[in-house]
Amino acid sequence: MHYVTSGQGEAVLLIHGLFGNLDNLKNLSRVLEKQHQVIRVDVPNHGLSEHWDNMDYPQLANAMIALLDDLHIKQVHVVGHSMGGKIAMAMALLHPERVISLVVADIAPVAYSPKHQTVFAGLTSLVLDSATTRQSALTHLMDAGIDEPTSQFLLKNLQRTDSGFEWKMNLPGLIHSYNNIIGWDLPLNNDSHFNKPTLFLRGGDSNYITAAYRDDIMRQFPHAIAKTLNGTGHWLHAQKPEIFNRIVSEFIEQNQG
């Protein structure tokens, strides 16, 4: 798995969301690395990491633990956004002895209904050949009904080849694994929970964490606290980075191992 590390001190693992890469939380990393060793990863099927035909949260959590083992890190604070938040929660529930504290950005430990059909349709119908340009790709995605900020974010996955462009991410693998990604299927019993400090951060304008999910959150994370960043949607870390970074860094400082 591709990763970068920076800084020294108690370790913090940062995990990005669907279609992202390790640069998504780079802004937060710059704040945390003053006091901590920070590890940013490309989740499998993203960025420069290996491509898997099938991915699910137990596999992804185990991959993160294997990386910690390779780095000789016994315990870590984990911060995850969206899909990365689900990976972080899976780590905490399946390997609680390895996680000091947990920060989950705008996602709940529940199964969601599909939200990305338009995105997948736009991506799969985009022809990548010698005539493709970044501008033509942007126009195509926007014509497919994807808003401009999301289209620009998706196009960060394009890389040049001798004959045009290709996707860095494993698009077929993500499509094949999509039900696992929006799902929440862990080998747990009803009493399984993470009994350590946990912070849920939600965007005030986002519908990813709602009151309907409160019981699911508290059952699995009984020590969870929640904060809302008003004026932000699902991309809260990018929309209000200074507030987001301050809240996360203060939480980690308060909960050092």
Are residues 23 and 148 located together in one domain of the fold? no
Are residues 34 and 101 located together in one domain of the fold? yes
Domain that holds residue 222: 3-112+184-254
Answer yes or no: are the C-beta atoms of 29 and 245 closer than 8 Å. no
Tokens 């937060």 belong to residue: 28
Render the burial of 204-240: b for 16+ CB within 10 Å, e for the rest: eebebbeeebeeebeebbeebeeeebeebbbbbbbbb
Query: Which run of H or E residues covers position 111?
Result: none
Are residues 147 and 190 located together in one domain of the fold? no
Count of structural domains within the chain: 2
Are residues 134 and 226 located together in one domain of the fold? no
CA torsion angle 54 124 112 58 (round to 10) = 20
Mean pLDDT of successive 10-residue stretches along the chain, which has 257 residues: 96 97 96 97 96 96 98 98 98 97 98 94 91 91 93 92 88 96 88 93 95 95 96 94 97 91
Q: CATH number for the domain including 242? A: 3.40.50.1820
Is 125 catalytic? The answer is no
Choose the catalytic residue: 36, 46, 77, 234: 234
User: What pLDDT score was predicted for residue 187?
Assistant: 86
Are residues 35 and 160 located together in one domain of the fold? no
User: What pLDDT score was predicted for residue 89?
Assistant: 98
Are residues 18 and 85 located together in one domain of the fold? yes
The residue out of 176, 192, 214 marking a domain boundary is 176
Is 82 catalytic? The answer is yes
User: What pLDDT score was predicted for residue 45?
Assistant: 97
Choose the catalytic residue: 29, 82, 101, 249: 82
Are residues 75 and 192 located together in one domain of the fold? yes
CA atoms of 137 and 160, how far apart (whole Å): 13
Q: Name the DSSP class of 156.
A: G
Round the CA-based radius of gyration of the chain to a whole number and report it.
Answer: 18
User: What pLDDT score was predicted for residue 129?
Assistant: 84
CA atoms of 28 and 36, how far apart (whole Å): 12
The residue out of 127, 152, 176 marking a domain boundary is 176
Are residues 144 and 165 located together in one domain of the fold? yes
The residue out of 150, 176, 202 marking a domain boundary is 176
The pTM for the full model equals 0.95
User: What pLDDT score was predicted for residue 140?
Assistant: 94
User: What pLDDT score was predicted for residue 189?
Assistant: 75
Are residues 156 and 193 located together in one domain of the fold? no
